[in-house]
Structure 1
Amino acid sequence: MELATGALSNLLPVLHSLLREEYNLQKSTKKNLQFLERELESMDIVLRKVGNVPLDQLDEELRIWARDIRELSYDIEDVVDTFLVRVKGRHPHYLQGSEGLVKRMVTLFKKGSTRREISKEVKDIKDRIKEVANRRERYNVAIANPATTMIDDRLRALYTKTTDLVGINKATDDLIMRLTNGDDIPRIQQKVVSICGFGGLGKTTLAKAVYDKLKKQFECAAFVSVSRSPDLKKVFKDILCELDKGRHISIHNSLWDEKQLIDQIREFLQSKRYFIVIDDIWDIHAWKIIRYALDESNIGSCILTTTRKNDVAEQIGGSYRLQPLNHENSKILFYRGIYSTEDKCLGKIIEVSQKILKKRGGVPLAIITVSSLLANKLDNITEWYRIYDSIGSGLENGNEMDGMRKILSLSYYDLPSHLKTCLLDLSTFPEDCEIRRERIIWRWMAEGFLHGKDSNSLFELGESYFVELVNRSMILPVDVDEQGQARACRRKIRRLSLQENIRANMNMGQLRSFTIFSSAVNSMPSISRFHVVRVLDLEGCDLRGCGHLNLRYIANLIHLRYLGLRHTFVVGLPENIGRLQFLQTLDLTRTLIDEAPSGIVQLRQLMCLSVNYNTRLPNGLRNMTSLEVLETVRIDEHSINIVEDLGHLCQLRVVHIDFNLQRWEGLRESMCKALMESLNNLQKIQSLEVTDFNGEDNHMNEGWVLPPRLRRFVMWTASSLSPWINPALLPLLSYLDIEVHKIGGNDIQILGKLPSLRHLWLGVSGHIQELPMEEWFMVSADAFPCARVCKFFNFVTVPSIFSRGAMPKVEHLEFCIRSRHFFADGGDLDLNDLDMGHLPSLERVVVHLHSERADSKEEVMEVEKGLRHAVCVHPNSPSIDVRHH
């Protein structure tokens, strides 16, 4: 599991670029570089193949050989990096980017002393590669294809007694409801449902329980497994045998091809109402071929599938996400495996058993495996704690643990090599640790795990890797927003490899990535020992009492790409931080740094700079032309140069601006115009926040055009919904959070035309605003086609303003009303205006009910009663929260 391609993926593009250039190296050195490139390409391919073979199937000599290649690749990268740093140090003001680096290397290589030094380094590396290559031939090290093994745990899932099942009653009932529409009347349309979840969660067990309950209601039924590398002819033969054992008892001896088998199944199923379960589908291609065999005549047939991959489940249709067991059911399953009953637990092991259950995370396979290990150790509390400490470390032993590893590792070995590397990086973090998506992706970039055609797409590439790991159920998405994007994740796969002795790995001089957590911060070694570290992640560690961690040494970490100091409470950074010419990410959020050092403007490769809203940035930001993320820029009376500098950062995708000029009215107009001009230059912006703007004037209303790639926009506070909110020019805008001083009668209709809008927060500053009846909002039936959340704050509106057909997907609706509008003489509204039945997807409603002293308590309660009646009669019975003001 620990085998990866090392630094080879990073090295090959650099070597290739060097060899494309014409420069005055010694002929022997150029030949040696060509030799290195050829050998490393071959070794990269071999290591990828090695990574596809489970560890228990790898020859020991091959494992050692692959380890040596990986370590050699790191040494080569260190040599190349050292020369790159020397080049950047001599020419800091020009030739940015990877092509510029290569040209600067060429310039340096032309110098005689450097050529001789490089030639010696290259020759030494060549000799080491030759030795490793010869060793493979000498010992006949060969890579065997992964063996196909039958995993007994799937059989256990198929033949578990119904009385032994725990915690699946609700899921079973839910699936039966989906397949049968909740009654015994056969439905005409064929139903397809796909159970989705990670390995060991109980998908097969659940599918078998549903199958056993429903199969008698159908003319014929079959339950077959597909597996990761399916033999589709065997799958089709299994289906035929299950459908009619008497007729197809010898089918596995037949020589029929796939087409003949598909035709045979279709002929058998024609005009029959069937129920077929296809278990353990790994890719959509296999499903599509199987689907050809399943007759689609509309006579009420049902198909149930299971898969580990979210995207496969979505494409199959009817995705059903299986959840881990809750704590109570986990206890029942755990204690039943130890005592044969769930209501018995010796007092002395209660505490450790609770800890074990927490580590098992509600995964039935993991719970059953551990309970079987502990069943014969009731009197040995020390052994219980030993097993608790070993969980997740890869140090657990025994046949039961081996079986669990095989189940869980299947998902890992199905990953492409680049995702294996990214997933292994997440094993750095403790179980249950919530890891921000941005933190993960910037770390991957710093480690060299992301390889795109151009650097501008690397973060997006990292996002696609993150999404793919979620889709494959390898990580658990956390805090999923209305756009379906997880802001964070937790890792789900355990560390399945054996860890080496930790002390043997403590050579800080070769350390490339260092992450520490708050519980261990006092044992952190001196930063001065990290000679080639690329990732230094101290996020979440309070460093105020750690005098041994002298941050002035950070500027000596010349290989550093990622420096994470978020939530560390550090008070400053060294002025010479500009020496970190490779640095890509600098996260200073939630520190105590009031003023960033002027040296940061020398960080020309920096792509992400995050600071507190009150941290003052130095002049000269225009030099940081690689920046893609800049949060937060404080604009005050000293910031005219910074505002102008912004316009030169044309690679920016994300920028947050805190406009702190309330006390400097004389500067507002000139600063607003300068900011507008700068923002108009930033055409790659995808996320823009401008807070504390307090724009009662119209300085930015004219001439500002929002960038066409904008996806997220936050503005507090604008004078009005200005002309720059133009739906035709904002096709990708999906998140809008805006506060205005005054809202107009047509504003909601305009926002409703934004084609991709999924989240809207629209508010009015100050006191609640009311419009005359003639200016009352009316929203057309085609408005808000994609919106999931709509919140209207501090101005009066009611559900009836949305025509039937508008907001078809809105799940969360928030709005404000006044009680007197319903009862005062000449009141504009009646209780029917609160009806929400025309909003079909509602799940949650929040209403701000404003009243005055003159309003009677009975009238206010009548309005609230009308609101509660509106949700009560809604088909979804959404929740409602009425807040009185």
Structure 2
Amino acid sequence: MKILSIVGFGGQGKTTLAKAVYGHLKPRFECQAFVPVGQNPDIKKVFGDILIALDEQTYTRPKLLGLDENQLMGKLNEFVKEKRCLIVIDDIWDKKTWKLVRCALQESNCGSRLVITTRIYEVAAYADEAYKIQPLSHDNSEKLLYARIDDGEGKYFDSLSAETCERILKKCGGVPLAIKGAFLAEELPEEVGLLTQLVCLRAGHWDYSWIDELPEEVGLLTQLVCLRADDYAIRVPAGFIGKLTSLQELRISCRGKDAIIMQFVEELGLLKELRVLKITRICRSESIESALLESLGHLHNIQELQIGNYSLSKYRVSEAGSLSYCRHLRLLHLDRLVFSALPAWINSSLAPNLSYLDVQVVVVKDQDMETLAKLPELSCLILHLTGTKLVSVKLLAEGVGYFRKLRFLKILGSLIRFDVRGSECNSSRVPSNNTIMPGLESLEFGVHVRSLKDEKLQLGFDKMLGFQNLGTSSLQRVKAEVNCGGASTWDVEEAEAALEHAAAVHPKHPTLLTNRVESQYMISRYQEV
């Protein structure tokens, strides 16, 4: 199979060119497939998507569901041996993914063609031919910009000065996506409201300068799909966000009077098409936080939700029942919002696609951890727990794949000890077929030595700090922050020795990184005496 690569950095038009090539050549081939990959792909899904696109009659999602990676690769190999195929794999980000794709499609004697797009030159080099995409010339950039501004009759171009247009062209640097989708400028003139067909606006830090506020004319851009203004805190005008009902992506760092911020938060609920929402500097009072949660409950298409706050204040949330519909949610990161317990809507039924979760909870119970363990797509879990005491969590159901896709686990605050089917996870009595965290690669947690010692449980550090049965075939890295405050030198060293032992006896012998904090408050041997 002959391979052509299209290489260049983001926004240069690699995908657009690949689509044009695909559309032009597809009538000449028996079977065709155009499959996007992106960062951190599920390679099984990629192979499945290719097979379904090539022959949707033979291959369906239910039929492929039970096949592993090697079986899918085998089916692809067999298919391309007998058919003349045109396959486009768009946006490959790493060599590992590319090697697997190439291996699955390498055997073909029927004149098939494979086109890939990538921003990684090492990936592009593996192709038979590589085309390095070039920035647009100044003349072509100018034509593209004018076409975006012009409404078809040349009416809008006259409203923008030549100086403003030249500044836009200079900052876009010949990148088509920047010219087509964004108005990049050190300041946004009032004329921005005339760009009524604009679909993407980025306002913020650019070449060591940034805009201070959004003009109220931004509210006239009703076709806007993407608004990014999160490089620096930006003043927002009153009542503008509720008009942008076509928005699918909003990233913004807000500042302004509380009344304006409150109006902004309340109008967020009108953005029914929103898929991605990232807001910082927003929760400055409990009333604003409450209104924000209420608005979020109306965003039924939300896929990525990040709420940050640069202040040191934390706002206690008793319940987030308003976020009851989140079936499309894949990423959830809530900073400075502390839930009294795990929100009821975070479960496998209401959030089946949740893969990244970063949340702060006062108390975590057995049932909460079992609920998290059953989330089918969860791959990254970061838990901020209040307190420093040991929390023992029992997972009693048999035959359940606990945390089956989890790759990264970080627990801050309380230390969690998993007790599987009544046996501690670090005990040799745990059945060898237990399925807790089978794919875990990275584990991070804190150890408050004095608190663990004060528990006075009939457990030594070796049992409290064991992790031998987590990620038994996958664990690569363990990082433990050892808090020495109020603990004796002997106890700290004993805890560190227990961690080293746990890493040594783990089947994968993961790399162990320990870091002491508050060591200045550790009780020395002299003080003990």
Q: Note closer, same or farther for the CA distance 1:756–1:282 as it changes in structure 2 (3 Å cut).
A: closer
**Residue matched to 1:740:** 361
**Contact residue 580 and residue 603 of structure 1 kept, 8 A:** yes
**Residue matched to 2:191:** 576
**Residue matched to 1:709:** 328
Alpha-carbon distance in structure 2 between the residues aligned to 1:879 and 1:47: 49
Alpha-carbon distance in structure 2 between the residues aligned to 1:430 and 1:826: 55
TM-score by length of 1: 0.39
5 Å-filtered alignment, 1:549-698, equals 550=164, 561-563=180-182, 565=184, 571-591=186-206, 592-612=210-230, 614-618=233-237, 619-632=239-252, 634=254, 637=258, 638-658=260-280, 660-662=282-284, 665=285, 668-669=286-287, 671-692=288-309, 696-698=315-317
Alpha-carbon distance in structure 1 between the residues aligned to 2:278 and 2:22: 45
Q: Deviations over 1:25-77 (max 9, x none)?
A: xxxxxxxxxxxxxxxxxxx9998249989xxxxxxxxxxxxxxxxxxxxxxxx
**Contact residue 621 and residue 642 of structure 1 kept, 8 A:** yes
Say whether 1:770 aligns with 2:389. Answer: yes
Task: Report the identity percentage.
Answer: 25
**Contact residue 821 and residue 827 of structure 1 kept, 8 A:** no
User: 1:756 offset after TM fit, Å?
Assistant: 1.4
**Contact residue 735 and residue 759 of structure 1 kept, 8 A:** yes
**Contact residue 76 and residue 104 of structure 2 kept, 8 A:** no
Alpha-carbon distance in structure 1 between the residues aligned to 2:5 and 2:375: 47
**Residue matched to 2:24:** 48
Higher RCO structure (Cα 8 Å, ≥6 apart): 2
**Residue matched to 2:484:** 851
**Residue matched to 1:792:** 411
User: 1:562 offset after TM fit, Å?
Assistant: 1.3
Say whether 1:310 aligns with 2:10. Answer: no
**Residue matched to 2:465:** 834
**Residue matched to 1:414:** 114
User: 1:627 offset after TM fit, Å?
Assistant: 0.8
Alpha-carbon distance in structure 2 between the residues aligned to 1:595 and 1:606: 18
The one of 810, 814, 817 equivalent to 2:447 is 817
Q: Note closer, same or farther for the CA distance 1:699–1:859 as it changes in structure 2 (3 Å cut).
A: closer
Consecutive unaligned residues in structure 2, runs of 5 or more:
7-12, 30-73, 84-96, 150-161, 173-177, 518-529
TM-score by length of 2: 0.63
5 Å-filtered alignment, 1:191-590, equals 284-286=77-79, 310-311=100-101, 313=103, 414-415=114-115, 423=117, 474=124, 494-495=130-131, 507-508=139-140, 511-512=143-144, 531-532=146-147, 550=164, 561-563=180-182, 565=184, 571-590=186-205
Q: Note closer, same or farther for the CA distance 1:311–1:616 as it changes in structure 2 (3 Å cut).
A: same
Amino acid of the structure 2 residue aligned with 1:631: R
Q: Deviations over 1:589-637 (max 9, x none)?
A: 4342221122221112211111125112332222212211001253761
Alpha-carbon distance in structure 1 between the residues aligned to 2:128 and 2:350: 41
Q: Note closer, same or farther for the CA distance 1:732–1:770 as it changes in structure 2 (3 Å cut).
A: same
**Residue matched to 1:807:** 437
Alpha-carbon distance in structure 2 between the residues aligned to 1:310 and 1:713: 30
When you count strand as a share of all residues, which structure comes out higher?
2
**Contact residue 799 and residue 833 of structure 1 kept, 8 A:** no
Amino acid of the structure 1 residue aligned with 2:395: V
The one of 390, 395, 398 equivalent to 1:779 is 395
**Residue matched to 2:51:** none
Q: Secondary structure at the match of 1:736?
A: strand
Q: Note closer, same or farther for the CA distance 1:598–1:492 as it changes in structure 2 (3 Å cut).
A: farther
**Contact residue 5 and residue 130 of structure 2 kept, 8 A:** no
Q: Note closer, same or farther for the CA distance 1:45–1:779 as it changes in structure 2 (3 Å cut).
A: closer
Moved over 6 A (4+): 44-47, 50-53, 287-290
Q: Secondary structure at the match of 1:838?
A: coil
Q: Secondary structure at the match of 1:677?
A: helix
CA RMSD of aligned residues (A): 4.6
Q: Secondary structure at the match of 1:729?
A: coil
**Contact residue 188 and residue 214 of structure 2 kept, 8 A:** yes
Q: Note closer, same or farther for the CA distance 1:847–1:288 as it changes in structure 2 (3 Å cut).
A: farther
Say whether 1:863 aligns with 2:495. Answer: yes
Amino acid of the structure 2 residue aligned with 1:48: H
Amino acid of the structure 2 residue aligned with 1:837: Q
Alpha-carbon distance in structure 1 between the residues aligned to 2:242 and 2:499: 54
Amino acid of the structure 2 residue aligned with 1:835: G
Amino acid of the structure 1 residue aligned with 2:201: L
When you count helix as a share of all residues, which structure comes out higher?
1
